[in-house]
Amino acid sequence: MTASEAGQHLSVTGAAAQQHFAKLAEASLVEPDDVRHGRGRPRRFWRLTDKGHARFPDRHAELTLGMIDGVRAVFGDEGLDQLVQHRETKMRQIYAARTADRKTLAERVDALAQVRDEEGYMARVEADEGGFLLIEDHCPICAAAAICQGFCRSELTLFQETLGPDATVERVEYLLGGARRCAYRIIPKS
C-alpha cells in the first residue's frame, strides 16, 4: 500500500502516514518497494517484512494439529509414524551436513545449537558438569509434539546420532513434562 492509501484508511494525510512508515521501517517492520508506472517517479509501496508479519496472529499451530489429526484418521498411527520418520530423515541429512566438518564434540554441539536456533528453538549451549547443556528456550513444534510424542523421541535420537558415539545425550528438562524449556545434557564418553 502507498502512504497516500494508508493515510486514507487512517484518516490522516499521506505525509503523516509516510512518517509512520518511516518509523516502522526503522524498526524493520516494513520495507519500501518502488514500482515504476510509466514516466516519472516510481510509486513507493510499503509492505510488511517477516518481522512485521510476525506481529500478527497466525493459525499455523491449528493447521498443523488438523493435519496431524487428518494423517492419523486417514492413515492410522502407522501413517503418522511414517510422517515422523520422514521428518527425522530430512533433519538427519541437514544436521549431518552442518556438523560433518566439525572435529571436536564442542564444535559439533555448537553447530547443532546453531541449526536448532535457525529452526526457531532459540537454542544455545552452556558448559555443564564436564560436558555441555543444549538449551532450547522455545519450541516451534510444541503444539504438534503435544499430540504426537514421536517428534520429541525423534529429536533425542537425532541429537545422539549427530553428536556421534563419543557423547551421551540425555534430556534433563522437558517442556511437555512441565519444565519451562527443553534442555539436553551432553557428556563426552571417556
DSSP letters of 102-113? --SHHHHHHHHH
Strands (E), 87-147: 123-128, 131-136
pLDDT at position 63 is: 86
| Model pTM above 0.75 | no
Task: Give the three cell numbers for residue 122.
Answer: 532459540
Least confident of 84-88, 163-167, 176-180, 181-185: 176-180
Domain 60-188 has CATH 3.30.1380: yes
Q: Is 50 exposed, middle or buried (0-12, 13-18, 19+ CB in 10 A)?
A: exposed
Of the candidates 58, 97, 88, 108, the residue with the CA atom closest to the CA atom of residue 158:
88
Residue count of the chain: 190
Of the candidates 166, 164, 170, the residue with the CA atom closest to the CA atom of residue 183:
170
In this structure, what DSSP letter does residue 2 have? B
Nearest-angstrom CA–CA distance, 183 and 137:
8
Nearest-angstrom CA–CA distance, 30 and 22:
8
Average pLDDT over residues 59-71: 87
In three-state secondary structure terms, 125 is: strand
Phi then psi dihedrals of residue 123, to 5 deg: -90, 150
pLDDT at 11 over 80: yes
Nearest-angstrom CA–CA distance, 186 and 106:
10
Strand arrangement, sheet containing 131-136: 123-128, 131-136, 182-188, 167-173
Task: Give the three cell numbers for residue 162.
Answer: 549427530
Average pLDDT over residues 172-190: 91
Domains in the chain: boundaries? 3-53, 60-188
pLDDT digits (tens, 9 = 90+) for 93-130: 999 999 999 999 999 999 999 999 999 999 999 998 88
- Look over the chain and give the mean of its residue pLDDT values, rounded to a whole number: 91
pLDDT at position 150 is: 86
